[in-house]
């Protein structure tokens, strides 16, 4: 895994429940190993409920409420999957705006599995090449993305992967892109931040 995140804060945005636990914990550990400081950002305070497929797993404490979070405080954004998690996030205007603001700021974003649903809502996938859990392929294409069935896809600071089997490649590329810093072409499809 290349790239040092020493002293850099990385936001992990999740809803209150429905997060696929391994898609949160593995990238989190990768950020820590690279010297970064991961922070759990969610729609409300307290803790969030992770799942292993459909079974409840662990809970995790929230560090920051998304409505109070500032994109300028973070070097990058990680969006874990799980079916319910991104579906809930895309209905929260502050969460959608937070995602869109990372693109407007040209900062790296990494999304795995079902997480690109939130990217669609943020209006940032048109003209971008990415992957996701296969059931999102039609949704992404309809939103203007070029969907491809690959382990990990990197497009100007946007890192995407299909599912937990791709986590090794996803984590390595997420750390690498965040370590590289801003990507000038990251915001090419981003809307204004007046989302929601």
Count CB neighbours of 187 within 10 A.
20
Catalytic residue among 52, 53, 113, 171: 113
Contact 159, 108 (CB under 8 A): yes
Contact 173, 155 (CB under 8 A): no
Rounded Cα distance between 121 and 118, Å, is 5
Give me the DSSP letters along 120-189: HHHT--TT-EE---GGGHHHHHHTT-EE---SEEEETTEEEESSGGGHHHHHHHHHHHHHH---TTTTTT
Catalytic residue among 52, 114, 171, 183: 114
Query: Is 113 a residue of the active site?
Result: yes
Handedness of CA 72, 74, 75, 80 (dihedral sign): negative
Query: Is 171 a residue of the active site?
Result: no
The per-residue b/e assignment along 157-168, b for 16 or more CB within 10 angstroms, e otherwise, is: bbbbbbbbebbe
List, by residue number, the catalytic residues: 113-114
């Amino acid at each position: 895994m290349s790239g040092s995140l020493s002293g850099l804060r990385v936001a992990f945005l999740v809803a209150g429940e429905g997060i696929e636990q391994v898609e949160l914990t593995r990238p989190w550990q990768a950020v820590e190993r690279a010297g970064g400081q991961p922070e759990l950002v969610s729609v409300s305070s307290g803790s969030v409920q992770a799942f292993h497929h459909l079974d409840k797993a662990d809970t995790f404490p929230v560090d920051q409420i998304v409505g109070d979070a500032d994109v300028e405080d973070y070097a990058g954004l990680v969006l874990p999957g799980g079916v319910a998690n991104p579906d809930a996030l895309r209905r929260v205007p502050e969460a959608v705006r937070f995602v869109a603001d990372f693109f407007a700021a040209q900062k790296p974003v990494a999304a795995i599995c079902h997480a690109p649903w939130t990217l669609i809502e943020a209006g940032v996938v048109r003209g971008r090449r990415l992957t996701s859990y296969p059931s999102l392929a039609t949704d992404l294409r309809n939103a203007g993305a070029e969907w491809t069935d690959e382990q990990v896809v990197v497009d100007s600071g946007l890192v995407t992967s299909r599912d937990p089997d791709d986590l090794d490649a996803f984590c390595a590329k997420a750390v690498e892109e965040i370590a590289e810093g801003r990507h000038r072409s990251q915001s090419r499809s981003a809307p204004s931040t007046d989302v929601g």
